Amino acid sequence: MTSGGRQLAGHHLFWSTGKGRLLHYRTRGRDAALPATRDISIWKLRRKFPALVLWLSLERAVRTGSGNPRIPNPALPALQALERAGSVAAETPLPVEWRRSLLGILMLGPQRGLAKMAEHLPTISRILTPNYRRMLSILAPAFNDSADLTFLACKPNVYLWLPPGSGNASRVLVCFCTSSNSLNAPLPVAHAALAARGIPICYVFNQRTRYAHKGLPGMDVDQSARAISQLLDRLGFPERYGLGTSLGGYTACRYASGLRLRRVLNFSGWPDKGSEVYADANCMSKAIGSFPASNVLSVLSSTDPNDKSILGSYEKDPFLTPRCFLETPTHGSLLAAIIENRLDELLDWLVEGKHFESSLQ
């Protein structure tokens, strides 16, 4: 990939060794602050992670329009589906292979591909839910290829993304994902909305065999919080703010004290159904522990059945944090906050400490 003179984002990837240590790979950004296990070589990683090959192929296909015909490009069918969909009559069903390709772009990125989807939204919208259509339409100006999560397909335990020009930044947004490693919106899309803030973002992911609320592989929660906190200290991020959706909201509360978070934005936080604490009526109060409840803002949908159930559980707990209610019927209300143009207001509370008029509906 060529930069064309653009400022490029930095990427730090961390994998747990299972022995309380984090392997660190990096490309661009804060190189001297924390010695890495090795610098990232895309060409080495692509041999290990086939999904990264698809991402690179897709990025090249969208960037060039077709790519080099002499170089096999497995993403070309996705690009062709994207281009041809724009010329198909509205009443004509899209072929199944096109639908799969277009949904692949949505889930994997890159940002140029998402921008193309927004450009062809009148046709693309037929494969999307109404909420996703509105989200893509609203976020179209935010799709910037400097916000690519290039190495998302490598599935690290922790991924620190540094926006261009953030070399002296002291703040970081620590995001805890759902069990499927989304933010209840496709992560590349939600990332565009968060990245527009210009603050470094540290994603803490789940593994199929190990959800982060129990700790990173080979560590418990305390050890994991300590390991992540130490790497953020060494990279120069003393000001930390937490955000999580669904299981990630619950996990953010569990890590709040250990990571020394200043505030937490909890979107519909609750343990995953497969968790042993799922039916514990006091799980949120236990998760937050000694962290001040006033420093957690819980955001819920007032119309979504799952969120209504979560609110009832909060009342029984009682988990009495400040609250914000949104109207869009969607669980894990980051998506609702984007659709209702409330995300900036919520982030102002989180990272700027601005007053927010909460509700205890």
One domain for residues 162 and 251: yes
pLDDT at residue 353 tops 50: yes
23 domain residue, yes or no = no
- Taking 70 as the threshold, does the pLDDT of residue 66 lie above it? no
Q: What is the pLDDT of residue 32?
A: 47
d(CA 291, CA 258): 9
* pTM, rounded to two decimals: 0.91
Of 8-12, 26-30, 326-330, 346-350, which range is least confident? 26-30
Q: Which residue in the block uniquely carries the two structure tokens 């209300």?
A: 333
The model's pLDDT over 186-201, given as tens digits with 9 standing for 90+, comes to 999 999 999 999 999 9
CA-based end-to-end distance of the chain: 50
CB 61 within 8 Å of CB 82: no
State the Cα–Cα distance between residues 235 and 314, nearest whole angstrom.
Answer: 36
Domain co-membership, 196 together with 68: no
> Is the predicted pLDDT of residue 26 greater than 60, yes or no?
yes
Enumerate the H helices of the chain as residue ranges: 42-48, 50-64, 76-85, 96-108, 111-119, 121-124, 130-139, 187-195, 221-234, 247-255, 283-288, 305-316, 334-339, 343-347
Domain membership of residue 250 as a residue range: 152-352
Give the mean pLDDT of 54-74.
Answer: 68
Residue 2 has pLDDT above 50, yes or no: no
Average pLDDT over residues 235-241: 94
Domain end (from 97, 113, 145): 145
Q: How far apart are alpha carbons 235 and 220 in whole angstroms?
A: 23
User: What CATH code is carried by the domain that includes residue 259?
Assistant: 3.40.50.1820
Place of tokens 């003393």: 238
Q: What average pLDDT does range 346-356 have in this prediction?
A: 94
Among 130, 145, 160, identify where a domain stops: 145
pLDDT for 120 equals: 82
* Domain co-membership, 112 together with 190: no
Q: Which of 71-80, 124-133, 284-293 has the lowest mean pLDDT?
A: 71-80
